[in-house]
Amino acid sequence: MKSFQLFNDFISLFYPEVCLCCGESLSGQEEFICTSCMYRLPKTNFHLRSENELMNVFWGRADIKAAAAYCYFQKGNPVQVLVHELKYHGKKELGIYLGKWYGHELKQSTVFESAEVVIPVPLHKKKLKRRGYNQSAFFARGLAESMGLICLEDSLFRLVDTTTQTRKTKGARWENVKEIFRVADKEALVGKHILLVDDIITTGATVEACIHPLAEIPVASVSVASIGYASF
């Protein structure tokens, strides 16, 4: 173990790990993001307020217990950089890392601390094969680990391989995803407080489409969490 650490230290002299946000070298205790950039992340603190911007997104559209996002997501800000690295550059462990950090914060909320299972928004099997992994699932794993919950990655599945939501209007986003999700095992979720997880929430159309089949489960309740919230 000691020789392995010495080897890593030697490699880091020539190929130092750098902060994904600012490009500065990371210290031995830092991962992905330096302490300074982590401190400056634009956190929402939605989990500390029962009424917040993200809850308003779902008002009148879906029955949820709570909604929160770790940070605000804007074009060019550090959160966009992090999500891009997670989603397109194969940094799966970054999702777990962010999930662990946010999970510690969610446990401060009396609403989120009652969650029992974590379910990520699923990718269609074709897109999963193309990308190789579901970025939301890795974020969900980190949340589940730090909150002491069960992560059920196969509870929801997507029937249709829809086109990207990125450049669609609010109405088009809903038309693109409505009625495309199903629950695999409803009995396993009866009476559970479900924490539904996505990477970025903008209009909430995809998450809303996931909530509707979950809402059919007897006595179950749903809360929502994401890495970022991007106001439309």
Q: Where are the domains of the chain?
A: 1-40, 41-229
Helical (H) or strand (E) element with 5 = helix 2-14
Strands (E), 98-207: 117-120, 150-151, 156-158, 181-183, 193-201
Share of the chain above pLDDT 70, in %: 85
Nearest Cα residue to 152 out of 189, 187, 205, 190: 189
State the sign of the Cα–Cα–Cα–Cα dihedral 119, 124, 129, 135: negative
CA distance 115 to 111: 8
pLDDT-derived band at 28, boundaries 50, 70, 90: confident
pLDDT beyond 50 at 39? yes
Residues 52-84 pLDDT 10s: 999 999 999 999 999 999 999 999 999 999 999
pLDDT beyond 50 at 13? no
Nearest Cα residue to 91 out of 79, 101, 83: 83
Residues 146-204 pLDDT 10s: 999 999 999 999 987 665 545 555 545 444 556 789 999 999 999 999 999 999 999 99
CA distance 194 to 64: 10
Nearest Cα residue to 109 out of 44, 203, 204: 44
Instruction: Tell how strand 221-229 and strand 66-72 pair up.
Output: parallel
Higher-confidence residue: 10 or 176?
Answer: 176
| Helix/strand/coil percent split, the chain, to 5 | 45, 20, 40
pLDDT value of residue 232 = 64
* CATH class for the domain made up of 41-229: alpha beta
Average pLDDT estimate for 130-134: 94
Q: How many CB atoms lie within 10 A of CB 77?
A: 16
pLDDT value of residue 180 = 86
pLDDT beyond 50 at 15? yes
CA distance 205 to 26: 37
Residues 204-213 pLDDT 10s: 999 999 999 9
pLDDT beyond 60 at 14? no
The single-letter DSSP state of residue 28 is T
